Amino acid sequence: MATAIYRGMTRQELDTAYSNTGRLADFPGLMRDFRARSEAFYAARQVRRDLRYGPGARQTYDWFVCGRSDAPVFVFIHGGYWQSCVKEDFAFCAQGPMARGHDVILAEYTLAPEASMTQIVAEIGRLLDHLAAKLAGRRLCLAGHSAGGHLAAMHRGHPAVASVLAISGLFDLLPISLGQLNDKLQLTAAEIAALSPMRNIAPGAPMLVSVGAEELPELVRQSDDYAAACRRAGEPAALLHVPGCDHFRVLDDLADPEGVQLAALAGPVLGAGPG
């Protein structure tokens, strides 16, 4: 009989509980759609591609310009469980923030196993330091999806960050360390303790924690628990279950200028966001 290793789940059940792609009938088809929409968006917009924030091959970002030199900036960090995907897959997400008057930056970072979690988190910090020097005081909304949601939450205390949107994030790394997702990450006990946002709630920017209402229960629980913990600590954190969305379609809502996530960011709790 298999042994339960986390919240009553065996390793196989835990792997299933975090397999966002496993529940889709055609994940490759979904990614082809994302890439096609992103390619069309690149072709239609003014963008500076593969700008550098560090010497590493993937320490780059793309900058979509809305046309105002003083526009606030929406920084988006893609997901892929810290070990897959590229920024170019998700350019279509920039449509919503740009329509609300933001420049949009798509961030890239080194993936595991080439980089450890410690190195990945540090790279996003380096990007923010670079942007803070370059943007000269412009408002910055730091957003990320899935693994990117984790990375955004880790940096909500950065002085350049005015607001945070953590979408379908992973806020406690312990369950990640106990399943197949850890094969490439090789998380250490020290990393789990230091780099889990749930375990390191400190003063930071107002934050919207959003998750698709139809996502896997573990993903919903992680968002619910983290938002609640932030509020208990006195930190401004709103929680949003995005209606009708799974782990990937929640990005369609972000790409919609009238989507519920952008509307919530512009609301009274998080008025520093796109609006």
pLDDT tens track for 213-230: 999 999 999 999 999 999
pLDDT number for residue 272:
44
With a CB cutoff of 8 Å and minimum separation 6, the contacts of 65 are 45, 46, 47, 48, 103
Whether 146 and 79 have beta carbons less than 8 Å apart is answered as yes
Is the pLDDT at 275 greater than 60? The verdict is: no
Of 192, 194, 210, 211, nearest to 202 by C-alpha is: 194
Whether pLDDT at 256 is above 60: yes
User: How does pLDDT run across 107-165, given as a tens digit for each residue?
Assistant: 999 999 999 999 999 999 999 999 999 998 899 999 999 999 999 999 999 999 999 99
Quick check: 274 pLDDT over 80? no
Let me know: does 185 contact 112? Beta carbons within 8 Å: yes
* Residue 273: predicted pLDDT: 45
11-265 sits in which CATH class? alpha beta
Using the 8-state DSSP alphabet, how is residue 3 labeled? Answer: P
Q: What is the DSSP letter of 210?
A: E
Q: State the average pLDDT for the chain.
A: 96
The closest alpha carbon to 7, from 175, 150, 227, belongs to 175
